[in-house]
Amino acid sequence: MADQKMTFIEHLEELRRRIIIALLAMMVAMAVCYLYSWKILDILKNPATKASIPLNLHYFSVLEPFMVRFKIALYAGIVLALPVILFEILAFIAPALRKREKKVMYTSLALIIGFFILGTVFCYFYILPAGLNWLVGQAGNRLTPTLRAEDYIGIVALLLLALGITFETPLLIFLVVRLGIITPQRLHKNWRVAVIVILCFAAFITPDWNPVTMILVAVPMFFLYEASIMFAMLGLRKRERLE
């Protein structure tokens, strides 16, 4: 099927099949993560413990314990099913590509997953402890924390996913430079535009509109943007010398 021309209906059927596989992978991943949700919660509580925050999570309705476990399963399920979801997306696109382009595409899949994991690890060990410590520290000695479990899971999972997506910046910069869409010099020159785009993106992926959360996402992304331009420039010069 991949080597033959497909009709519009066949394309729709192929798309439907890919979506079903991705959804099934997501549902299985969520089911597994739901069973281990309390163990995942213990892992998510570690950054607060590292920041010396007295973490006693509470709930305020009979539905909330289920919603906490569901949110944990949802966020963890996305991460667990991500390789399958990305593979299905690329497999749908693959028939339209040449052999060399397919090789680059599947190599990019490994890089996408690798950068995402790197971003979540960086967030877990560095951004979350510092961010939580600063946020809770605003209370000083005037307020006593009574943290709601659902809110804590929301901000922690949101930051982990946001930083995972943010760490895709180097790969995105490399691809647009490699494809000749834009030059590193032009990217560096338009850094003001990049700041606005990064802030808008940070606001988009942090729907709670918390300015601190947005800054925690935007600052690493800007540094990654500048570092990516430098590496892209070095790679471009090396390719020019080889040619």
Condensed to tens digits (0 to 9), the pLDDT of residues 119-169 reads 999 889 988 888 888 878 787 778 877 888 988 998 898 889 888 888 888
Task: Confirm if 116 and 164 have CB atoms less than 8 A apart.
Answer: yes
d(CA 85, CA 69): 22
Q: What's residue 2's pLDDT?
A: 43
Cα separation of the two ends of the chain: 37
pTM: 0.79
Q: What's residue 130's pLDDT?
A: 82
Could you write out the DSSP letters of every residue in the chain? -TTS---HHHHHHHHHHHHHHHHHHHHHHHHHHHHTHHHHHHHHHHHHHHTT-----B--STTHHHHHHHHHHHHHHHHHHHHHHHHHHHHHHGGGS-HHHHHHHHHHHHHHHHHHHHHHHHIIIIIHHHHHHHHHHTTTTT-----BHHHHHHHHHHHHHHHHHHTTHHHHHHHHHHTTSS-HHHHHHTHHHHHHHHHHHHHHH-TT--HHHHHHHHHHHHHHHHHHHHHHHHHHHHHHHH-
Query: Closest by alpha carbon to 214, among 199, 224, 226, 225?
Result: 199
d(CA 59, CA 50): 23
- What does the block give as tokens for 235? 């790679």
d(CA 106, CA 127): 30
Task: Confirm if 147 and 57 have CB atoms less than 8 A apart.
Answer: yes
Query: Closest by alpha carbon to 167, among 227, 221, 100, 215?
Result: 221
What stretches in the chain show pLDDT beneath 70? 1-6, 101, 179, 206-210, 235-236, 238-243
- What does the block give as tokens for 134? 């600063």
